[in-house]
């Protein structure tokens, strides 16, 4: 799995409304079009497991789901779909919804199928779709695409504004509320009665919000590496103390002679490179090179920065490498959805852009220095997400009421012990909003506990939850 291009899982039991007929007050049920065997090249560079075959199709959805009042924009999007051919799987449909936001699902079908336990692939029909704004529908922002490789990187002046101008007023149709509406259209096209929703990273947001909007159509939730459904904090205040905990925990295991968090704080005090160090710590926390980082921090805090400099060069993106193509990961969609979902220190995206930076400065200034330890106030105020969203133009989007609980469906939450992309505190906050939950912290894992790189623990817990086999080995 790649960076923030994370995912949502959706399991559905086929029952209820048929594909050809509408249900209740719904408009006519959408249908999958152009169903055909997938060209293996469309499923990504990793082939599906043996005996797992996919069909491809498209689902037409309106650009404008009429989630807000006003004249309707009469345009449709054709979302690519990939689905395994076991259409009568006993437990129904399992939809993998990519996160990021920005990564298309169909292009990862082979990789995703390979990470599931055979019991899940046998019991469910696996379905993936490329969300609006990704793949062939990717939002195109060439300057941002080239300049920024991750949400943490600070965009150069002008590229965020250019992106918003290029997308135009239609940018209001690319938030999570629209993805939730697309997911409901997919459910109806598949003839599914109830869905079991699971998400990873950003994907936990549409999973949770779908469950909140359609609680009677959800049987279970699986939320891995959670972004709280109310939206993330652009100042990243939960990340900082968790980074200190992860560093100190690793230091305790290796019996460091110093406090690793204090060493990091001293490096940042001298070098004023909090963002760079946050990036390095986040990338290396779940990897064997964390031990090398601990030594380098200790030496740099005492004046010898050679080891740290070498490590920083290894982790940095090579100059001139550019970003990935938009059809592989759309930076335009990433900033559009992130900023339009966010409730920052200035409020939501409907707040005037002028004054947002001052509002963030005011919130940060009211906090004590220890709130940012082992980083500093500048790290919070200058990270890529907060800077991009300060610059994003005022936009009217569907309202979402914050502070609501999830429905009382069985909910599995997973967190990586060393995940600093979505820190444990975020998952714990979501667990507190889930009336019927189980929280599992996977030892040694980083972002997305089900990633095969972190072993079988996360995968086995999810398999047990999905196929009802307690104690699965």
Q: What is the pLDDT of residue 224?
A: 92
- The answer regarding whether domain 7-139+174-229+405-467 maps to CATH 3.40.50.1580 reads no
CB 311 within 8 A of CB 317: no
Q: What is the pLDDT of residue 3?
A: 37
Per-residue pLDDT averaged across 171-181, rounded?
96
Q: How far apart, in Å, are the Cα atoms of 118 and each of 182, 198, 467?
A: 28, 18, 11
CA torsion angle for 230, 364, 236, 149 (degrees, to 10)? 110
Q: What is the pLDDT of residue 319?
A: 45
pLDDT bracket for residue 452 (50, 70, 90): confident
What is the domain partition of the chain in residue ranges?
7-139+174-229+405-467, 235-397
Percentage of residues in the chain with pLDDT exceeding 90? 72
Alpha carbon 280 to its chain centroid, in Å, reads 19
pLDDT tops 90 at residue 421: yes
CB 8 within 8 A of CB 200: yes
Q: What is the pLDDT of residue 318?
A: 55
Q: Where do the H-state alpha helices sit in 322-456? A: 331-341, 356-365, 377-382, 384-391, 424-432
Q: What is the pLDDT of residue 27?
A: 62
Q: What is the pLDDT of residue 169?
A: 94
What pLDDT, in 10s, does the model give residues 85-144? 999 888 888 888 787 899 999 999 998 898 889 999 999 899 899 999 999 999 999 999
CB 171 within 8 A of CB 395: yes
pLDDT tops 90 at residue 351: yes
Contacts of 265 (CB under 8 A, 6+ apart): 373, 374, 375
pLDDT tops 70 at residue 26: no
Contacts of 368 (CB under 8 A, 6+ apart): none
Top pLDDT among 74 and 2 is at 74
Q: What is the pLDDT of residue 470?
A: 52
What pLDDT, in 10s, does the model give residues 231-255? 888 899 999 999 999 999 999 998 9
Per-residue pLDDT averaged across 440-451, rounded?
94
Q: How far apart, in Å, are the Cα atoms of 283 and each of 118, 287, 290?
A: 30, 8, 9
Per-residue pLDDT averaged across 33-39, rounded?
95
pLDDT tops 60 at residue 321: no
The pair of three-digit structure tokens given for residue 347, joined into one six-digit string:
């409020």
What mean pLDDT value characterizes the chain? Answer: 89
pLDDT tops 60 at residue 398: yes
Write the secondary structure of 412-446 as one string of H (helix), E (strand) and C (coil).
EEEEECCCCCCCHHHHHHHHHCCCCEEEEEECCCC
Looking at 77-81, 231-235, 426-430, 454-458, which range is the least confident one? 231-235
pLDDT tops 90 at residue 157: yes
Q: How far apart, in Å, are the Cα atoms of 212 and each of 156, 406, 408?
A: 37, 6, 10
Percentage of residues in the chain with pLDDT exceeding 70? 92
Per-residue pLDDT averaged across 444-462, rounded?
92
């Amino acid at each position: 799995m790649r960076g923030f291009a994370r995912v949502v899982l959706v399991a559905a039991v086929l029952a209820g409304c048929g594909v050809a007929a509408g249900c209740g007050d719904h408009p006519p049920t959408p249908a999958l079009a152009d169903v055909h065997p997938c060209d293996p090249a469309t499923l990504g560079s990793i082939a599906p497991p043996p005996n797992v075959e996919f069909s491809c199709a498209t689902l037409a959805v309106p650009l404008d789901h009429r989630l807000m009042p006003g004249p309707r924009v009469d345009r449709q999007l054709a979302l690519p779909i990939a689905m395994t051919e076991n259409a009568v799987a006993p437990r129904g449909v399992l939809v993998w919804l990519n996160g990021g936001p920005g990564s298309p699902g169909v292009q990862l079908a082979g990789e995703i199928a390979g990470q599931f336990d055979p019991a899940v692939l046998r019991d469910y029909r696996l379905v993936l779709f490329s969300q609006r704004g990704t793949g062939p529908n990717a939002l195109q922002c060439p300057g941002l695409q080239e300049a920024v490789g991750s949400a943490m990187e600070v965009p150069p002046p002008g590229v965020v504004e250019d992106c918003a101008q290029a997308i135009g007023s239609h940018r209001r149709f690319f938030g999570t509320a629209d993805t939730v509406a697309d997911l409901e259209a997919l459910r109806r096209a598949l003839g599914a009665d109830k869905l079991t929703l699971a998400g990873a990273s950003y994907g936990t947001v549409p999973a949770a919000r779908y469950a909140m909007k359609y609680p009677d159509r959800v049987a279970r939730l699986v939320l891995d590496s959670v972004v709280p459904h109310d939206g993330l904090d652009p100042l990243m205040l939960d990340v900082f103390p968790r980074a200190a905990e992860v560093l100190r925990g690793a230091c305790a295991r290796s019996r460091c002679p110093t406090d690793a968090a204090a060493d990091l704080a001293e490096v940042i005090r001298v070098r004023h490179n909090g963002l760079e160090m946050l990036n390095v710590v986040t990338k290396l926390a779940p990897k064997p090179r964390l031990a090398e980082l601990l030594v380098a921090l200790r030496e740099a805090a005492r004046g010898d920065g050679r080891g740290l400099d070498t490590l920083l060069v290894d982790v940095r993106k090579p100059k001139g490498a550019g970003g990935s193509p938009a059809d592989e990961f759309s930076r335009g969609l990433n900033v559009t959805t992130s900023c339009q979902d966010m409730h920052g220190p200035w409020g939501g995206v409907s707040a005037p852009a002028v004054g947002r930076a001052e509002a963030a400065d005011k919130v940060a200034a009211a906090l004590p220095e220890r709130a940012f330890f082992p980083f500093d106030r500048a790290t919070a105020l200058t990270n890529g997400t907060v800077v991009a969203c300060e610059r994003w133009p005022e936009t009217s989007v569907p309202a979402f009421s914050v502070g609501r609980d999830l429905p009382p469906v069985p909910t599995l939450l997973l967190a990586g012990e060393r995940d600093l992309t979505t820190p444990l505190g975020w998952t714990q906050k979501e667990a507190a909003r889930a009336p019927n939950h189980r929280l599992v912290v996977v030892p040694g894992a980083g972002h997305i506990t089900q990633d095969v790189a972190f072993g079988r623990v996360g995968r086995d817990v999810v398999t047990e939850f999905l196929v009802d086999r307690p104690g699965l080995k």
